[in-house]
Structure 1
């Protein structure tokens, strides 16, 4: 039993040793030594784009607004249609008319290309560069010089607004009454609630004065729709008239995104007018009612 157990155990260990020795000799003699794998150099996983929901979330945190291609195409189509319907009747000068036509042509082409293309990767930056209107001290002659080459389309309406405002101003004065010099510029616009306002700049000369000094005025008027149906009744009501050549005045913010540092009530900026262009000068915003919505979206031109 011992002989069989010993003989049975020894051959197996011997063969095991031979086998081990032969494999070792063959690996050292014929096969190249195995390379040591460094972390990250093997089984590299392919790069897979992250889910769109993650991209949208990160873009939102960075202040970039992402919208679906279908919604972007719809908005671009609507804006192109709105621009194509607009005309240059609100331009006071030939330069402004040319600039408007160039702007219209360029942006209609841009909106049409977005509406008819494949804008899956287009994002809209909602953080435009901010600026502000400058404080100015202007005389009546300064403003008249700026509008010396104008050819306003709504000249009759502009003069009518100026005459209404000056008549209202004279009615509040017992002396130092004025007569109209030049009607310079005006803007009619509607608020989101539907109320229509008009802002006007004009100059006027004192009556019965030995040293008449021409003054620069700002006026705000409001449309009373109910009075439009009545004959011989003026539908425009004068809300405010003041001289602005002796105080700082500011152009409208309609063409810019204003940098607002003071506390606001919601989106209402009561320091500036966001409905008028920069050439129409205003006193500080708490002197008038319309045009304070800083989002600019509620404002569109009213004839």
Structure 2
């Protein structure tokens, strides 16, 4: 027998070191659905009821609120995909399936496009607001020519535009158009991007243009990027809050932009603030 005295028993408060019993798994009827606002638990019956409501609401919606042909195409694709999913959920499915509504992050690749490339992409498209699109392109090109003593341009084709409002209420327009050099031996068309802003106070004044041009530049000689409105962008750089100053989150992918620090509107990376104006 050891000569050493036995170690004293550890003193503890009742319950302090007590082993906790294992917690049983959640019952299989608790379905976990991950949504944009977090994770919650919901029964199949409630989930099916919500899916049926969403499907019925989506069924009633049409593309009349879309202001461009690209937006209509995107809306129809969204409606078809989500309507099919919600109808399927409403009918019920095996309880162990988890529905993940968070899309995988992606990004818009940089492109080097000529004016002819963009014109070819829009050759079979008829913009729903053609007069407004051409008006914006004319304003932008007039502003650009006014800042140049030479290398002025005539309008080629007004390709696409998007009007949107920020949370603060400011309305912007982004535009792509092509233009032909004036009095030049080089007839090569150029591809342009422009940003315009609505001045509400001027709308009440007759014979006054309420839209101001903020930025115009050629984008056929630099990398350009489509808008991120249809995607969940993978963002790897530091942001100021939710503001992504590299890309436009208000426009569709067909509308090409320079890098984001060259324009003001459309940087909020949360999709909800942007609606068609």
TM-score, normalized by length of structure 1?
Answer: 0.70
Q: What CA distance in whole angstroms lies between the structure 2 residues aligned with 1:169 and 1:75?
A: 51
C-alpha contact 1:64 1:124 (8 A) present in aligned 2: no
Aligned positions, number: 248
| Higher normalized contact order (CA 8 Å, seq sep 6+, divided by chain length) | 2
Greater radius of gyration (CA): 1
Find the partner of 1:87 among 45, 54, 63. Answer: 63
Confirm or deny that 1:245 pairs with 2:185. no
Q: Deviations for 1:41-94, whole angstroms, at most 9, x for unmatched residues?
A: xxxxxx965499x998xx99xx9622667799779857964784452543436x
| Structure 1 residues 175 and 228: alpha-carbon distance in aligned structure 2, compared to 1, 3 A threshold | same
| Structure 1 residues 272 and 99: alpha-carbon distance in aligned structure 2, compared to 1, 3 A threshold | closer
Task: Give 1:141's aligned residue.
Answer: 116
Q: Deviations for 1:1-29, whole angstroms, at most 9, x for unmatched residues?
A: xxxxxxxxxxxxxxxxxxxxxxxxxxxxx
SS at match of 2:141: helix
Name whichever structure is richer in helix by fraction: 1
C-alpha contact 1:170 1:177 (8 A) present in aligned 2: yes
Name whichever structure is richer in strand by fraction: 2
Stretches of structure 1 lacking an aligned partner (at least 5 in a row): 1-46
Q: What CA distance in whole angstroms lies between the structure 1 residues aligned with 2:218 and 2:181?
A: 12
Q: What CA distance in whole angstroms lies between the structure 1 residues aligned with 2:98 and 2:199?
A: 42
TM-score, normalized by length of structure 2?
Answer: 0.76
Task: Give 1:272's aligned residue.
Answer: 247
Confirm or deny that 1:300 pairs with 2:239. no
SS at match of 2:176: strand
Task: Give 1:16's aligned residue.
Answer: none
1:1-303 map, 5 Å: 50=26, 65-66=39-40, 77=53, 81=57, 84-88=60-64, 89-92=66-69, 97=72, 100-108=75-83, 110-111=85-86, 125=100, 127-302=102-277
Q: What CA distance in whole angstroms lies between the structure 2 residues aligned with 1:195 and 1:80?
A: 33
SS at match of 1:66: strand
Q: What CA distance in whole angstroms lies between the structure 2 residues aligned with 1:98 and 1:260?
A: 26
Q: What's the RMSD between the two structures over aligned residues?
A: 3.5
Task: Give 1:41's aligned residue.
Answer: none
| Structure 1 residues 84 and 225: alpha-carbon distance in aligned structure 2, compared to 1, 3 A threshold | farther
| Structure 1 residues 298 and 124: alpha-carbon distance in aligned structure 2, compared to 1, 3 A threshold | farther
Q: What CA distance in whole angstroms lies between the structure 2 residues aligned with 1:55 and 1:87?
A: 33
